[in-house]
Amino acid sequence: MRVKMRKFLKSCYFKILLSTIAVIWTLGLKTSNFASVLLVVLFYFFYKNEINCSEKRERIIAGVLSVLLAVFQVAGNYDDFLLLVDVKLVLLIKYILAIAGWCCIFYTLIAIIFKMAEEKDLVCAAQKNSKGIKVFGASFGILILCWLPYFIAYYPGILTWDTEWQFEQALGISSYSNHQPVLHTLFLKLFYNLGIKIFHNPNGGMAVCVFVQMIVMASIFAFLIVILYWRKIRKQYLALCIIFFGIMPFNALYSIAIWKDIFFAGSILLFSIILWELQDSHDDNRLTKIGQIIGFIVVGILVCLLRSNGFYAYLFCIPFMVLMLKKRRAGVILGCIVTLSIVGIVKGPVMEAKHVIQPDIVENLSIPIQHIARVVADGCELTDEEEKLLGQVIEIDRIPEEYLNYISDPIKTLIREKDNQQYIKDNKKEFFFLWLKLGLRYPEEYIKAQIDQTRGYWTTDEQYWVITTEVTEHAEILGMYRDSKLPSGIVRIMEWGENAYMEIPIYGILWSIGFYFWIMLLMLAITIKKKKNILPFLPVLALWGSLMIATPVYAEFRYIYSLIIGIPLFIAISFSSEEERNYVSDAETITNKECL
């Protein structure tokens, strides 16, 4: 009997059963749903000729990643499990079984992708390269042409709430604040004033800001295409990259949306490209080395100044850059010192001299604030001492009615209304221990709060707004208004396209942050499996990590836009051979046909 049971547990039939159960429970389907029959059939063919990882290294990487993705999948849908059962032991068993079932699914899927990575190589050594300037120009031109209809339809561009405040600062209506990065505000001021001189109206000023942003982003994407081209990545893949950057609506809409996050995402992409180049460069030309380090410094400064979490992401990357970039170690160390020195001077003495207001203390405490608020909102008891400490900075009685599990703004607003943030600064130790003690006492509430506040960044089944094209009344007060140059019917079709991802299956997943995060993890796993350097992945991973401890919103697309536009780079890194740089001069042995 035991032998038969062991045999069954190792068979594909057990995996079919476990996987079907996992999908049904996780997606909240009824047990009588006919989809269960379809799932059994699907999983039968999925596991029938199962591909297994051959090497121990592969099995370990695939195992770790499959467990991670399975936990993400189940944790992201924990509330569906709670609807079915409230007995904790039964709930725990269901969680374990669901995770086990998803592990089976993901492990098999990862093994298939690993096999594809072995068989597919994006590099074609026989591919003839022409001058990079031609590739850059063609890529740049195509992207601008793809984005122009959106610029014309939403002329003078997309102005968001945050940017209205920045324009107020640029126009001298309000004081400079680094809550929105001053560097970006100064960019707006420069090109807005240029636009005013040319067009003599606020719409013209904004249009110039938008068009310059389009030029910058198209240049960054075209630069990536050129780098891939020089590394002999197949032209078909380059074409797909251009289509992705040019045709996907969120890229087009973000190219005309005035947000600090757009330039920041471009800076992170450039930083990853530079790290890739520094890591693989075989060019010992002194001018090339100097140029790379200058680029490393300039882009590093942008990463640190365009978002506050960019600075922390840069700090996280420093030890890895010094450790992994052995050939450029001296230059990298010098570059880091120069970068941090300039950033320190700008964020310190310069901003103080210009009386730039810094973000308040609660702005960076979204996650711990949500943890504590969840405890109060769920009716958990606090001691008199804890209530007294917390009551100094927030009206405790209002927390249950104001708390939203996916965004921290309501609770931060309550703290700001109390107007006693100095008390937090003066009693940091006490508030830290309050957060720690409540977490140890009520771990379930903290876990739920953490999941709800961040799940959009690591699960695929979360849909949140990505872009808005509305023009607010406040923007009109500033003299900026929608002045579309296209017929209203066409504009309505384009507006429908902004939210079509919520209606069209499969297409919708291309708008999912979690989906791109999973792709990045898969590409990272392939890169580790091939024993290649993972350094280009680290800036985005560090940025993602910063959101896990500080995000104010659970699925803000723009906050992690650098991940989305970095996917073409990550795929190229993981699916290319180790010989990208070894260009073949005598390609007689490989025909051009092989590059098609």
Instruction: Assign 72 a pLDDT band (cuts: 50, 70, 90).
Output: very high
**Quick one: pLDDT at residue 499?**
85
**Quick one: pLDDT at residue 595?**
59
List the alpha helices (DSSP H) in 157-234: 161-170, 182-199, 202-230
**Quick one: pLDDT at residue 592?**
44
Mean pLDDT of 547-576: 96
Distance CA 361, CA 416 (A): 10
pLDDT in tens, 381-397: 999 999 999 999 999 99
| C-beta of residue 371 within 8 angstroms of C-beta of residue 439 | yes
Whether residue 497 has pLDDT greater than 60: yes
Mean pLDDT of 362-368: 93
| C-beta of residue 576 within 8 angstroms of C-beta of residue 238 | no
| C-beta of residue 86 within 8 angstroms of C-beta of residue 540 | no
Mean pLDDT of 24-42: 90
Instruction: Assign 161 a pLDDT band (cuts: 50, 70, 90).
Output: confident
Whether residue 585 has pLDDT greater than 50: no
**Quick one: pLDDT at residue 507?**
93
Instruction: Enumerate residues 6+ apart whose C-beta is below 8 A from 578.
Output: 530, 532
Residue 466: closest CA among 404, 508, 410: 508
**Quick one: pLDDT at residue 54?**
75
Mean pLDDT of 425-445: 96
Burial class (CB in 10 A: 0-12, 13-18, 19+), 254: buried
**Quick one: pLDDT at residue 6?**
62
| Sign of the four-CA dihedral 346, 347, 351, 353 | negative
How far is CA 545 from each of CA 113, 311, 414, rounded to the nearest angstrom? 25, 13, 27
Q: Is residue 434 within a helix (H) or strand (E), and if so which, with residue range?
A: helix 428-441
Instruction: Assign 226 a pLDDT band (cuts: 50, 70, 90).
Output: very high
**Quick one: pLDDT at residue 179?**
87
Average pLDDT, the chain: 90
pLDDT in tens, 87-137: 788 888 999 999 999 999 999 999 999 998 888 899 987 777 767 899 999
Whether residue 9 has pLDDT greater than 70: no
Instruction: Enumerate residues 6+ apart whose C-beta is below 8 A from 320.
Output: 535, 538
Instruction: Assign 587 a pLDDT band (cuts: 50, 70, 90).
Output: very low
Residue 361: closest CA among 426, 436, 444, 297: 426
> pTM for the full model?
0.93
| C-beta of residue 170 within 8 angstroms of C-beta of residue 188 | yes
Whether residue 594 has pLDDT greater than 60: no
| Sign of the four-CA dihedral 384, 390, 393, 395 | negative
3 state DSSP class of 407: strand
pLDDT in tens, 231-263: 999 999 999 999 999 999 999 999 999 999 999
